[in-house]
Amino acid sequence: MKLFKLWVLLCVVFPIFSFAQRNTDAIIDTVETPSGPAVLYKNFTWEYLQDEPVMLSQEDDSTGIFSEQWINDQIFAYRIKPDSIRDTVIILTRQDRSFTLPIYGKLFRGFMYTHKGLDIKLNKGDTVRTAFDGVVRYAKYNRGGFGNLVIIRHYNGLETYYAHLSKMNVKVNQVIKSGDPIGLGGSTGRSRGPHLHFEVRYKDIPFDPLRMIDFDNKTLIANTFPVTKRVFYPNDFVQNAVVVKIKKGDTLGKLSHKYHTSIKEICAMNKIKPNTTLRVGRSVRVR
């Protein structure tokens, strides 16, 4: 703090008309002031941090994960297709990093053709935490249905989505650790009640989080995750499709109940309407 007071005095005696560019390699410290946090530079200049947290240094981002398609005002940054994904293995955690289930509650809706994540029941105001270490890429209200949405890009190359929050406690470009609180649960956006909509994506392409998370035990199934084209939507639905032939008396309602899905889901998969007549012998996908 003494160093900071000295720098403030220098700035008053020798006014600085243009602050140094935000260069994380040149930062030596950050301090709290009555006007908010301030960044101190090696060349004896300083500036208030305000609403824009310091990004990772080039050393921290040696793999380029946080410089490739780093977009703060769009949900999807990569815009690639599943078939362009090359087989690889993602190391989910290392010894110096960990995993945290964002929140534990009743899992009342899973990954489906029309739903690209998990819906976890919570109470408004419950704390939601980040799954892995990473950096906040997106934190704002989304009019597409997510409501208050936080997207975090992680060191393993994945991005996680946390939607319908009542309050967001992080800002874009903020570096955070697994388990850090990022917001409070709510029902903003297109939501019928308080819950967390949680997604996991690899370069914008979603896959079922339960492929990697043991939800009941709040842990990862394994420390590594094999990435192939088949694990991503929509390829996983092609590989794991359940198709039935319509019999006399079958209705969309009966099929949705029997196969633990919804009429909306069956209609979306088969590109039909709820009032479509199901002809006997027709093949219909139910999962």
**What ranges do the domains of the chain cover?**
2-48, 82-236, 241-285
pLDDT in tens, 15-53: 333 333 445 556 666 666 766 667 677 777 776 665 555
Tokens of 117: 């994540």
The H or E element that residue 235 is part of is helix 235-239
Tokens of 129: 């935490």
Distances (CA, A) of 146 to 38, 140, 192: 33, 10, 12
Domain 82-236 fold = Glucose Permease (Domain IIA) (2.70.70)
State the chain's maximal CA–CA distance in angstroms.
90
Domain 241-285 fold = Membrane-bound Lytic Murein Transglycosylase D; Chain A (3.10.350)
Closest CA to 111 of 221, 210, 219, 243: 210
Contact 138, 177 (CB under 8 A): no
Q: Which residue type does 251 have?
A: T
Q: Which phi-psi region, left, alpha or beta, contains residue 280 (left: φ > 0; alpha: ψ -120 to 50)? A: beta
- Kindly give the pairing relationship between strand 167-168 and strand 127-129: unpaired
CA dihedral (173, 177, 181, 187) positive or negative: positive
**pLDDT tens-place values along the chain, 287 residues long:** 544 444 443 343 333 333 334 455 566 666 667 666 676 777 777 766 655 555 666 556 767 888 889 999 999 999 888 888 888 889 898 877 799 999 999 988 888 777 889 999 999 999 999 999 999 999 999 999 999 999 999 999 999 999 999 999 999 999 999 999 999 999 999 998 999 999 999 999 998 898 889 999 999 999 998 888 878 776 666 656 678 888 888 888 888 878 767 787 787 777 788 888 888 888 888 77
pTM of the model: 0.71
Q: Which residue type does 211 have?
A: R
Question: DSSP code of 3?
Answer: H
Closest CA to 244 of 232, 227, 261: 261
Question: DSSP code of 194?
Answer: S
Q: Give φ, ψ of 152 to 5 degrees.
A: -120, 130
pLDDT in tens, 153-164: 999 999 999 999
